Amino acid sequence: MAKVWDPTNKFQRWLDVELAACKAHVELGNIPKSAYDTIKAKASFNVKRIDEIEADIHHDVIAFLTCLAESIGDESRFVHLGLTSSDVVDTAFSLLIQDAGNLLLADIDTLMAALKEKAKKYKYTLTMGRTHGVHAEPTTVGLKLTIWFEEMKRNKQRLTQALAATNVGKISGAVGNYAHMPPKLEALVCSELGLQIAPVSTQVLQRDRHAEFMATLAIIAGSLEKMAVEIRGLQKTEFNEILEPFSKNQKGSSAMPHKKNPIICERVTGLSRVIRGYAITAFENQALWHERDISHSSSERIIFPDATICLDYMFGLMTKVIDGMTVNEQQMKLNIGKSYNVFFSQQLLLKMVQKGMLREDAYRIVQKNAHEAFDEQVLFDEKIKADPSIKTLLSDEELKAIFNFDSYSRHADEIFDRVYK
């Protein structure tokens, strides 16, 4: 990912645009083919030399063109013919975004493969589901991971859409009115580069496209943070259900040798905040003065390389966590037991309503027994057997059938078929 944003690659993309423009000029009859052949053969640049020129003239595109001219010779007069700086910079920027975005799409695929593998491994592994941080009903580890897999599937769709929105070029001149070159030139250049044509533009491509891309990165980072926060929570000593990898020689604390801290997931959480901040900057870049200013330019030189490199790194971290996480199944069983089976309350409620009791009456009876079972630390099963209003309504066989742990994973196959088809 760093290579995408390296100055050498950036200037190479600028050169790709200039060469495509020269080739289009040949087709339009504006320059001789021999001149294009010379330009293509001789055009080269040196980053250090460009920096030297820019330090003197304070204009990066002119510095780049001056450097090119030094390698090309007389035919350099045909380079940048009828173009403005942003024709080159913005069109090349679209190419760089595509390069970076395609790497992120590959990252998504890698993480999804890891999630799918672990979801299938723990498809029926029961763990306590929590709402408001409080024990609700058992669910499965496989379902937790499948939720994340499906979200990554949506993120892939979002990123694909955002890449399509930024897969555009513009060769429309200083204010976008094609005063010095016809739209046909733009069409030829964009076709050569594999870009769509911006239907209309000012001197720059409109920044709603770039804001959409950065917003998508922020959403994806938020998904990774969501996964990280869940694992951080489940790694608490009181839970001890899922732990991120901890290598043989790793140390958790300078003062406390016993510590195993979820530092990888905490890192993901922190970096997600950075990318959200960059998304706000991209939103601010939408409103430029008149046909353009360059208030967006300085910030984009930071936020796009940083955000894509950061997200690429976060994907590596989360894939490592999913691949190497410890799933403490025995501890999950112990934690489920800490609720004394009160989570079967809904199944009991439904059965009592089915047998003819009013829902409000049944709710109060079940709630009273559930709260007392938890407070007294006795099994809910035993508590309700002693309640005459339940005993007279349900047989022993009916009560026994209510306490069925398989009910919490009975539809796992159906869910998996729906998601992983």
From 184-188, 211-215, 288-292, 330-334, the region with the lowest mean pLDDT: 288-292
pLDDT value of position 307? 98
Domain assignment of residue 263, given as a range: 97-166+205-335
pLDDT score of 259? 82
Q: Quick one: 304 and 223 in the same domain?
A: yes
- Are 60 and 146 found together in one domain? no
E strands, 177-289, in order: 196-197, 242-243
Query: What phi and psi values does residue 371 have, to the nearest 5 degrees?
Result: -65, -40
- Check whether 402 has a pLDDT greater than 90: yes
Q: What is the pLDDT of residue 250?
A: 78
What pLDDT is stored for residue 253 in this prediction? 75
pTM above the 0.85 mark? yes
Strand, helix or coil for residue 377: coil
Write out pLDDT tens, residues 36-50. Answer: 999 999 999 999 999
In which band, very low, low, confident or very high, does the pLDDT at 101 lie, cut at 50, 70 and 90? very high
Please tell me whether residues 157 and 274 are part of one structural domain. yes
Domain count, the chain: 3
Which residues lie below 8 Å from residue 280, measured CB to CB, with a gap of 6+? Answer: none
Residues 44 and 71 in one domain: yes
Burial, 44: exposed, middle or buried (Cβ in 10 Å; 0-12, 13-18, 19+)?
A: exposed
Mean pLDDT of the chain: 95
Do 369 and 232 lie in one domain? The reply is no
Does the pLDDT value for residue 157 go beyond 90? yes
The total number of residues shown for the chain amounts to 421
Contact yes or no for 45/67 (Cβ under 8 A): yes
Is residue 161 included in any domain, yes or no? yes
In the predicted model, is pLDDT for residue 251 greater than 90? no
Q: Strand 134-140 and strand 126-131: pairing?
A: antiparallel
Is residue 190 one of the residues assigned to a domain? no
Q: Which residue has the tokens 């089915």?
A: 354
> Which positions are catalytic?
132, 253
Compute the Cα dihedral for 140, 144, 149, 150 and give only its sign: positive
Residues 276 and 313 in one domain: yes
Residue 21: CATH number of its domain:
1.10.275.10
Average pLDDT over residues 170-199: 96
Q: Which band of pLDDT confidence, cut at 50, 70 and 90, is reported for residue 214?
A: very high
- Cβ proximity of 365 and 390 under 8 Å: yes
Q: What is the pLDDT of residues 336-364, one digit of tens each?
A: 999 999 999 999 999 999 999 999 999 99
What's residue 213's pLDDT? 98
Domain co-membership, 124 together with 57 = no
Q: What is the dihedral angle through the alpha carbons of 388, 389, 394, 397, rounded to the nearest 10 degrees?
A: -30
In this structure, the answer to whether residues 216 and 355 fall within a common structural domain is no
**Residue bearing tokens 């491994």:** 121
264 neighbors 322 (Cβ within 8 angstroms): no
